[in-house]
Structure 1
Amino acid sequence: MSEPLSLVASLSITVIASLAVSAWIWLRFPHLIDDEAGLRLLRGVNSMDRPSGLVTAVLTSVGAVIAWLAAFIAPSFLGRTGADAPLLAAFGLFAGATGWLFWIDTAIRRLPNRIVLPITFAALVLFVVSVVIGVTRDTGDAPGMWAAGATPAIHGLLGGFAALLFFLLLALLALRMRRTGMGGGDVKLAVIVGMLPGALSLGSPLIALLVMNVSALVHVLWAVGTGRARWGSAIPFGPHMLIGTWTAVIAGPLLL
């Protein structure tokens, strides 16, 4: 039987993954944005087209704190086994990108493919690895319960697939009605938004969906109330997806 993951190991996996992603985004920032106009609109970018030290420190700290919180919550619902290490790494990767995506989408209303797609692909690979480890472990330890160790990863993959279909349907519906709806970046982000909460509990993606929509509604009401926008104006939805995801990851399993 595989040795259980300690709290120190869980923290190390998630926080190190978070810091690694943040460093990657900072180093490759001009390439990842790939838009001179977008770079000019981002406040806090220096003459080298990279975020300033203060911006980098804040966004990196946000990711590390989220990863730290996830490392406390997630293992209790994943099972603290070796099969969960890849899942914790996926949580850390997305945590490291969260602050950056929030900042970029708020400023220029765009979720760069060169950030979203690699993180999503890496998370998918890690979830599949967790399935393989879980199945291999349980086949050797308890043949009658062969899929038990793989269950969180399988649930996460199903949650990601369901979220992708749901957001894609919303985007196509809005396009057909010729109204402002989900952007392409939001649809791509939906995969990992469904995966992470889904790995912890089947109901957590629904909490993520509820929280992100409530958050967006509050944003719209505030913008209209302060005269910054009118009813029907488009808003960046990515930040609200991020808020919903991490609320579901950190608080969702406890509520359910």
Structure 2
Amino acid sequence: MDIAYVVAAALAAGILGALGPAAIARLPEPSPHPEDDPDEPPKEPYVELARRPHLAAGLALTSVLLLLVVATALDGPWLLPAWAIFAGAGSWLAWVDLRTRLLPYLLTLPLHAVCLVLVALAALLAGDLGILLKGLLGNVVVFAVFRAVYTLGRWVRQPFGFGDVRLAALVGLLLGAVGPSATLYGTYAGFVVGAVAGVVLYRTGRIGRRDPFAFGPYLVLGAFLGPPLAVLLHG
């Protein structure tokens, strides 16, 4: 792949990531839910969350690194715009979820729509309708898997919230457009990294056995690891 495309996509991802604090500060606060645990500490306001020192630089750097990781495994430049958008806005989602254990639908739904359009455009420019069809298949399959786990979680310990299900559908779209191996490894990587992080947090006393857990950051990271893992393991 031409290095110029990668540099341009990395810059776009970094700029979008740097806009994260401004976007986060404008999010409306969620309404209280009847099932909220009254003993749980109050959610950190989005405005305060956006004021963290050096947040814009941190999100920009994270976005650039994520884009560079996935760019090593893409066959051509067509999907770079979609992954750049996801790298930038995905860093916002990861930060918000890490601090609040929420994935606002006002971020996930527009991001899903934009990435769907960019995947369709990639298929058009590449002259390969299979890119879009594989993306849609990954979208449906990964969503169905996470929706099933979410539904089962109502009778056992809930592993994640419905915001993670929405985010998983987006991850499935982008990974599916790359290929089935990337979809498998990217989804699995998110589970593995999240599980390891959960064990570490529990063992160090950062969370309790039944405390809510932010799965979104690991879902995002797993998505960007999926294509390189597919190349590494399958060539």
Counterpart in 2 of 1:69? 69
Q: Percent same amino acid among aligned pairs?
A: 25
Q: Does 1:6 pair with 2:11?
A: no
Matched residue, 2:162: 184
Q: What one-letter code is carried by the residue in structure 2 that aligns with 1:171? A: Y
Note if contact 1:70-1:250 (Cα within 8 Å) is conserved in structure 2. yes
Q: 1:198/1:254 Cα in 2 relative to 1: closer, same or farther (>3 Å)? A: farther
- Where does structure 2 lack aligned partners over 5 or more consecutive residues? 32-41
Amino acid at match of 2:122: S
* One-letter code aligned to 2:54: L
> Residue 123 of structure 1: CA displacement?
0.4
Deviation at 1:248, TM superposition (A): 0.7
* 1:224/1:230 contact within 8 Å kept: yes
SS of residue paired to 1:181: coil
Cα distance in 2 between the residues matched to 1:35 and 1:60? 26
Q: Which amino acid aligns with 1:186?
A: D
Q: 1:206 to 1:71 in 2, by over 3 A?
A: closer
Once the two structures are TM-superposed, the CA of residue 121 in structure 1 deviates from its matched residue by 0.8
For residues 239 and 151 of structure 1, the distance between their equivalents in structure 2, rounded to whole angstroms, comes to 29
Change (3 A) 1:33 1:89: farther
One-letter amino acid of the counterpart of residue 32, structure 1: L
SS at match of 1:32: coil
The answer on 1:89 being equivalent to 2:81 is: yes
Displacement, 1:52?
4.2
Q: Which residue of 2 aligns with 1:244?
A: 222
Offset at 1:182?
Answer: 2.8
Residue of structure 1 in register with 2:136 after alignment: 157
**Structure 2 Cα separation of the partners of residues 130 and 174 of structure 1:** 36
SS at match of 2:26: helix
TM-score, normalisation: structure 2? 0.83
Distance 2:73 2:51 in 1: 31
8 Å contact kept, 1:201–1:253? no
Q: Give, in angstroms, the shift of residue 63 of structure 1.
A: 0.2
**How big is the shift at 1:50?**
3.5
TM-score (norm 1): 0.76
Matched, 1:30 2:25: yes
Deviation at 1:155, TM superposition (A): 1.4
Contact 1:167–1:182 (CA<8 Å) still a contact in 2? no
> Per-residue CA shift, 1:165-209, capped at 9, x if unaligned?
11111112212x154233111011011211222222211222123
User: For 2:61 and 2:214, how far apart are their aligned partners in 1?
Assistant: 23
Q: Is the 8 A contact 2:160 2:214 kept in 1?
A: no
Look up the SS of the partner of 1:28 in the other structure.
helix
Q: Is 1:204 aligned to residue 208 of structure 2? A: no
Amino acid at match of 1:202: P
- Residue correspondence of structure 1 range 208-223 to structure 2 within 5 A: 208-223=186-201
Name the structure 2 match of 1:19: 14
Q: 1:118 to 1:24 in 2, by over 3 A?
A: farther
Residues 69 and 228 from structure 1, CA distance in 2 versus in 1: closer, same or farther, beyond 3 angstroms?
closer
> How far has the Cα of 1:39 moved from its partner?
4.4
Q: Aligned letter for 1:113? A: Y
Q: Distance in 2 between matches of 1:178 and 1:248?
A: 29
Whole-Å separation in 1 of the counterparts to 2:131 and 2:233: 18
1:72–1:207 CA distance, 2 compared to 1 (3 A): closer
Compared CA separation, residues 101 and 251, structure 1 to 2 (3 A): same
SS at match of 1:251: helix
State the structure with more CA Rg.
Answer: 1
C-alpha distance in 1 between matches for 2:143 and 2:211: 24
Q: Structure 1 or 2: larger helix share?
A: 1
Letter in 1 for 2:3: L
Which of residues 59, 71, 92 is equivalent to 1:100? 92
Contact map agreement 1:25 1:32 (CA 8 A) in 2:
no
Contact 2:18 2:57 in 1 (8 A): no
Which residue does the alignment assign to 2:147? 168
